[in-house]
């Protein structure tokens, strides 16, 4: 199979996704790592993640903080989910922590929470920018154009919104629209690009109903939209959600078509994404580190990724942002997380990035 960038058509991508021979896969890993080095260099940029609210009005079938998240008895998620929303001062304090730890960006993430009002978020962006000078990334779900414009004007630099799957039928099943609206994340991504945001997106690997064709289509959509940041992690079933139970069985694709939610599968998607979007910023995700706490982060970084998002949310809230159980780094302090990540980055011969680490557009490399 070819790894030439211009010949990565749908069939070739799907073929690589199905490839299981470790010797053959070595070619994919080497090519992805070489392209990562050539286009985004050896620096690993750290983005301080602030989980500002776990309130959510959506009913996504996969997500543990969905509106109707239920406790599942007998599992580690057996307590009812306590909802929280950080105060203005807590957000600012978390941003200061990110700055003091040397991070170049803060990512303000939440469930889709209308009580995080336009004004509150705009004020928080202005305060974080004024006090820390850090780049600000938002990840607040589907929001109105009016809000998105106001936050851009307040100084937001980037917005992360995973389209979750390029298959519209599967999307409607796993991510129901709210009454009276039609959820269209791709359209929001296009509008945010026009507003001047750097745009981030991504998918989960191995979501029930995801086929090889769908996943190849996801990678092609990253290329078509020219996404600046692409988050790719394994689907991790949450016992609080329908896809942590019976619904997953019903939604599964036919035998032989269903993509597994394994580590190697996720790494193949990261590597192929580096091939089709060589300039993009690709995080080695927390979900990957959750699946393989020993080496998941490092494997992501040597197979195409160049970003890590250490958590700077105040410790007492972190455990409540439970999108899936057993999330990596939940019980560590921000300082411990930083030391651990720096050690991991140095252990693979890479360096910690300085500055905001935004998308850099270069002339094509041969
Ligand atoms: N509410 C915002 C949104 O929907 O874009 C941001 C928060 S949402 C929890 C962030 C991402 O977590 C989602 O886009 C989804 O891909 C991922 N996620 C949710 N549930 C997951 C699960 N069970 N396994 C892996 N990733 C999950």
Per-residue confidence of the chain (366 residues) as pLDDT tens digits? 776 655 799 999 999 999 999 999 999 999 999 999 999 999 999 999 999 999 999 999 999 999 987 776 556 666 788 999 999 999 999 999 999 999 999 999 999 999 999 999 999 999 999 999 999 999 999 999 999 999 999 999 999 999 999 999 999 999 999 999 999 999 999 999 999 999 999 999 999 999 999 999 999 999 999 999 999 999 999 999 999 999 999 999 998 999 999 999 999 999 999 999 999 999 999 999 999 999 999 999 999 999 999 999 999 999 999 999 989 988 888 899 999 999 999 999 999 999 899 988 875 554
CB-based contact 273:230 (threshold 8 Å):
yes
Q: What pLDDT shows up at residue 234?
A: 98
pTM for this model (two decimals) = 0.96
235 CA from centroid of ligand 1 (Å): 9
225 CA from centroid of ligand 1 (Å): 20
Closest atom of ligand 1 to 204 CA is: 16
202 CA from centroid of ligand 1 (Å): 10
Distance from C-alpha of 170 to C-alpha of 164, rounded to nearest angstrom: 10
b/e per residue 317-337 (b: at least 16 CB within 10 A): bbebbbbbbebbbbebebeeb
Distances (CA, A) of 68 to 82, 114, 171: 12, 16, 19
Percentages helix, strand, coil for the chain (3-state, rounded to 5) are 40, 15, 45
Distance from C-alpha of 200 to C-alpha of 49, rounded to nearest angstrom: 14
The strand pairing partners of 158, in sequence order, are 137, 198
Distance from C-alpha of 293 to C-alpha of 329, rounded to nearest angstrom: 9
110 CA from centroid of ligand 1 (Å): 10
In which element (H, E) is residue 204 found? strand 198-205
Residues whose beta carbon lies within 6 Å of some atom of ligand 1: 62-63, 65, 109, 111-112, 139, 141, 161-162, 164, 204, 233, 235-236, 238, 287, 323-324
Residue nearest to atom 2 of ligand 1 (CA): 141
How would you class 81 by CB atoms within 10 Å of its CB: exposed for 0-12, middle for 13-18, buried for 19 or more?
A: middle
């Amino acid at each position: 199979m070819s790894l030439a960038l211009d010949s990565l058509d749908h069939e070739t991508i799907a073929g690589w996704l199905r490839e299981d021979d470790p010797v053959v896969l070595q070619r994919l890993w080497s090519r992805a790592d070489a392209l990562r080095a050539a286009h985004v260099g050896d620096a690993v940029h750290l983005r301080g993640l602030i989980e500002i609210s776990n309130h959510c009005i959506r009913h996504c079938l996969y997500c543990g903080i969905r509106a109707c998240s239920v406790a599942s008895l007998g599992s580690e998620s057996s307590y009812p989910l306590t909802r929280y929303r950080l105060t203005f001062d807590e957000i600012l304090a978390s941003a200061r922590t990110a700055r003091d730890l040397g991070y170049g960006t803060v990512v303000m993430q939440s469930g889709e929470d209308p009580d995080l009002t336009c004004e509150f978020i705009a004020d928080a962006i202005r305060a974080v920018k004024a006090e820390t000078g850090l780049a600000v990334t938002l990840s607040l779900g589907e929001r109105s154009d009016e809000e998105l414009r106001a936050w851009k004007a307040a100084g937001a630099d980037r917005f992360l919104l995973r389209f979750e799957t390029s298959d519209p039928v599967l999307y409607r099943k796993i991510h129901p629209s709210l009454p009276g609206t039609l959820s269209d994340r791709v359209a929001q991504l296009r509008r945010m690009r026009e507003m001047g945001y750097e745009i981030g997106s991504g998918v989960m690997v191995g979501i029930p109903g995801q086929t090889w064709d769908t996943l190849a289509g996801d990678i092609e959509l990253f290329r078509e939209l020219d996404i600046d940041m692409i988050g790719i992690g394994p689907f991790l079933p949450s016992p609080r959600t329908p896809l942590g139970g019976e619904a997953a069985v019903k939604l599964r694709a036919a035998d032989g078509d269903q993509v597994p939610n394994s580590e190697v599968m996720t790494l193949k998607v990261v590597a192929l994404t580096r091939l089709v979007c060589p300039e993009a910023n690709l995080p080695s995700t927390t979900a990957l580190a959750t699946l393989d706490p020993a080496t998941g982060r490092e494997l992501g970084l040597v197979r195409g990724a160049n970003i890590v998002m250490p958590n700077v949310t105040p410790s007492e809230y972190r455990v409540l942002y439970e999108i899936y159980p057993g999330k990596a780094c939940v019980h560590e302090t921000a300082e411990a997380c930083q030391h651990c990540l720096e050690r991991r980055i140095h252990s693979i011969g890479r360096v910690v990035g300085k500055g905001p680490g935004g998308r850099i557009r270069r002339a094509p490399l041969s």
